[in-house]
Amino acid sequence: MTTATQIVLASRPKGSPTLENFRTETATLPAMKDGEFLVRVIWLSLDPYMRGRMDDAKSYAKAVEIGGVMEGGTVAEVMESKHEGFPVGKIVAGAFGWTSHAISNGEGVRIVDPGIAPISTAQGVLGMPGITAWVGLNDIGRAKDGETIVVSAATGAVGGMVGQLAKTKNMRVIGVAGGADKCDYAVKELGYDVCLDHRALDAKALTQAIADAAPNGVDVYFESVGGKTLEAVLPNMNTFGRIAVCGMISWYSGQGIAEAQPLPAVWRNILTRRLLVEGFIIFDHFEKFPDFMAKVGPLVGDGRITFKEDIAEGLENAPQAFLDMLGGGNFGKQMVRVGTDPA
């Protein structure tokens, strides 16, 4: 039998978590069966998503149970094996959790090639944070060469990767990070064009600093934080800009996502439900008018689509009709009869 040291969730945090929410335990692992293998954990990755797992609010993944081992991505070595795909000595990446040892059947576990980069990167730039940056930048953010991007949490596991990948696309890359040392690192080591310290700037100053750093406006915002940074980026977004909502760490704890605060609640929904929210103004789409008329004209013409008009008589009554409409007083398309029908 193998004993494992494990860290379990002792209680759910109210607001910001504390050490009291965790407890260290020693567990005896069950006997290894055919098709299973035993690993010792070498690296445990800590990531912001774990905060969400501590709550039992509805989210995209289920919560850690009270008394359950905290979830987490790990890099581990196979110590004993009854599984052909995972022989002894192999380095693997898997979600074994906050534990020193684990038994696995191989589900969701991949073998790590230690020849490519240090094995810890299998939970970093070449693991979940890395692919998050890559998909978020390219598929969600639809980033194009030469565009301008703002990256929040600019030196974080994901953000640091987003910034560097964006530079490989010849983008103008503006980071936002907390502290002068992080900002120095972002510019000197990661190649950011500019990095702004949100701790040194209030919301208004941060908004202006982004405007100064982005003379052509912001095309893509890689959003991991919410809060002040979101509010400072938004006025600088270009038309048809994209916001890849990857996280909202500034709202994960405390009163941030209370029902009384609708913006965090909306943002959380966009994130956890993977919503696509798109603003549109029809004037951008008028090239479709002929197609629209061809398809919808007949439906209106033969009455399959009906309509109702609320008619104000005379141009002089337009202002009152307009005010009524704004208050929801009209019933049907509000029109004003300015002149008589054609003869």
Using CB under 8 A as the binding rule, the residues of this chain from 301 to 320 that contact a second copy are: 301, 304-309, 312, 315-316, 318-320
CB of 1 to a second copy, least distance (A): 19
Determine the distance from the C-alpha atom of residue 223 to the mean position of all C-alpha atoms in its chain, rounded to a whole number: 6
Q: Rule CB under 8 A: which of 61-80 touch a second copy?
A: 61, 70, 74, 76-77
Q: Rule CB under 8 A: which of 125-164 touch a second copy?
A: 125-126, 128-132, 134-136, 139-140, 142, 155-157, 160-161, 164
Cα-only R_g, the chain: 27
The sign of the CA dihedral 213, 230, 59, 54 is positive
Question: Which residue, among 298, 277, 124, 148, has the nearest Cα to 213 in the 3D structure?
Answer: 148
- How far apart, in Å, are the Cα atoms of 173 and each of 91, 135, 155, 206, 231? 35, 17, 12, 16, 18
Q: Rule CB under 8 A: which of 158-197 touch a second copy?
A: 160-161, 164-165, 168, 178-179, 181-182, 185, 189-190
Q: Rule CB under 8 A: which of 247-276 touch a second copy?
A: 249, 252-253, 262-263, 265-266, 269-276
Question: Which is nearer to a second copy, 87 or 235 (by Cβ)?
Answer: 235
Strand runs (DSSP E) across 178-264, as ranges? 194-197, 218-223, 237-245
Question: Which residue, among 124, 183, 121, 123, has the nearest Cα to 153 in the 3D structure?
Answer: 183
Number of residues that bind a second copy (CB under 8 A): 148
86 binds a second copy (CB under 8 A): no
Element (H, E) at 209: helix 203-213
Question: Which is nearer to a second copy, 33 or 204 (by Cβ)?
Answer: 204
> Which of 11, 22, 36, 187: binder of a second copy (CB under 8 A)?
22
The sign of the CA dihedral 39, 41, 42, 47 is positive
Q: Rule CB under 8 A: which of 205-234 touch a second copy?
A: 230-231, 234
> Which of 62, 205, 235, 258: binder of a second copy (CB under 8 A)?
235
